[in-house]
Amino acid sequence: MDLDSVIRKVPDFPKPGILFYDITSLFTAPAAFAFVIDEMVKHYASVKIDGVIAIESRGFLPAAPFAVKKGLPLVLARKKGKLPGKTIEEDYSLEYGTATLQVHETDLTAGKNWLIVDDLIATGGTIEAVAKMILRRKALVAGVFGIIGLPFLKYEARIGKYRPKTLINYQGE
């Protein structure tokens, strides 16, 4: 499957000089979307995973069908203020400032192996924030999955120890 042909590339978004890789086009191509889920199932067939943590919001889309196929609980990592009840949270860096991700405290079970799923891995900041919450809850990171990787932004330096897996990589323009 040629995923590159399905990914919409939007120049100068969200600002001039940025080439935005828009995976929403992937979800309009059922065969491509099914391919992504099948590849996830194949890649993690022999990895001990007790649950999946999906990062808002496009990470929810591949994580949900994967979790269903594997019979695993799905936990949502949301932007601050989106979850009711008691949460744990972690800040991460943005280009101009910081943001915060939260997870329901009771959903993130200690002693379990969690797969972190996002749509795209750029600098690894959001993945690292979720990994910190997992570790703080005395659980383990079983791996990291992203449909797209941008290795030229050097995410391996930040999250390489969590064995990130991507299906398509872009080297920058």
pLDDT tens string 4-58: 999 999 999 988 988 999 999 999 999 999 999 999 999 999 999 999 999 999 9
Q: Helix 60-70 vs helix 30-43: angle between axes, to the nearest 10 degrees?
A: 60
Instruction: State the catalytic residue, choosing from 39, 78, 89, 95.
Output: 95
Given the residues 58, 78, 128, 137, select the one marked as catalytic.
58
| Cβ contact 114:50 at 8 Å | yes
pLDDT of residue 136: 96
Domain map of the chain by residue range? Answer: 47-169
**Residue range 87-103: mean pLDDT, rounded:** 90
pLDDT at 15: 87
pLDDT of residue 94: 75
47-169 classified as CATH 3.40.50.2020 = yes
Model pTM score = 0.96
What sign does the dihedral 155-101-132-27 (CA atoms) show?
negative
Q: Each residue of 51-94: pLDDT tens digit?
A: 999 999 999 999 999 999 999 999 999 999 999 999 999 999 87
Q: Is 163 noted as a catalytic residue in this protein?
A: no
Task: List residues bridging with 98 in a β-sheet.
Answer: 93
Instruction: Reply yes or no on whether 137 is catalytic.
Output: no
3-state SS string over 71-137?
CCCEEEEEECCCCCCCEEEEEEEECCEEEEEEEECCCCCCCCEEEEEEEEECCCHHHHHHHHHHHHC
Residue 156 neighbours by CB distance under 10 Å: 13
